Amino acid sequence: MKKIIAFDCDSTLSAIEGVDELARLAGNDIFQLVENLTNQAMNGEVPVEEVFARRLDLIKPTRQQCADIGQMYLDQIEPTARETIASLQKTGWECLIISGGFAPCIEALALELGIKRVEAVPLHFEADGSYRGFDENYPTTRDGGKPEIIAKIKAELSPDLTIMVGDGVSDLETSPLVDHFIGYLGYVTREKVAANCMHSVKKLSETLTLTGSL
């Protein structure tokens, strides 16, 4: 039986929000501007895809800054993440990461957890490591991106069981496409997620109870 479990990254596999930390590295003024844009997107004043490009244009993350964020993800890894992923893999679950964050920031965490497939936004750099742009066609740069990725993975791998674990509304959006959606409420409890998730956990290791019975 083919079993797939996909995890969100920010505020799920690790405590941090990578884009906020990148913005902080760019200085306080940039951080404020980025925060305002994020709020405008959350209030529905500006479409997600527009905010996505504008935030990156402000931050212009370098390859080195992305590596620094990678280290932060590791330093603040969810306390039970390693044992949970190892145990899931041992019992035949294929673990993936699906993130609206940036692939070069998430690589180190995926490597540490032994997760081979990472679905996250690719960034492009110049030869000297400065920022050149991002993959504007990547699904998680827009609303409905995570369901799109889940649909693609299901078409590709034909799993018998699919689970998504995450803290955000963009994760919750995958609910109609997965067999079980698990809300991760260990770092942030978003009202909409808490109210609408089929299952919720405060530690990743709690997912083992559900997955073990499937």
By CB under 5 A, residue 11 contacts Mg ion:
yes
Cβ distance 112 to 106 under 8 Å? Answer: no
Cβ proximity to Mg ion, 11 vs 174, nearer residue:
11
Q: Per CB under 5 A, which region of 3-11, 135-143, 156-164, 193-201 contacts Mg ion?
A: 3-11
Among the listed residues 104, 159, 168, 183, the single contact to Mg ion using CB under 5 A: 168
Among the listed residues 4, 6, 7, 8, the single contact to Mg ion using CB under 5 A: 8
By CB under 5 A, residue 173 contacts Mg ion:
no
Quick check: is 135 catalytic?
A: no
Joined together, the tokens standing for residue 91 give 């019992």
Helical H runs in 120-174?
145-157, 169-172
Among the listed residues 78, 119, 148, 167, the single contact to Mg ion using CB under 5 A: 167
SS3 127: coil
64 CB neighbour count, 10 Å cutoff: 12
**Identified catalytic residue from 8, 29, 68, 135:** 8
Among the listed residues 3, 4, 10, 113, the single contact to Mg ion using CB under 5 A: 10
By CB under 5 A, residue 148 contacts Mg ion:
no
Q: How far apart are the first and last CA of the chain?
A: 11
Q: Which residues contact 14 (CB under 8 A, 6 or more apart)?
A: 72, 73, 74, 76, 77, 78, 81, 109
Cβ proximity to Mg ion, 194 vs 214, nearer residue:
194
Quick check: is 128 catalytic?
A: no
Cβ proximity to Mg ion, 59 vs 98, nearer residue:
98
Q: Per CB under 5 A, which region of 34-42, 88-96, 116-124, 168-176 contacts Mg ion?
A: 168-176
Q: Which residues contact 123 (CB under 8 A, 6 or more apart)?
A: 56, 61, 66, 102, 103, 104, 131, 133, 134, 135
63-75 vs 103-113: helix crossing angle, rounded to 10: 40
Residues in contact with Mg ion by CB under 5 A are 8, 10-11, 167-168
Give the residue numbers annotated as catalytic, written as ranges: 8, 10
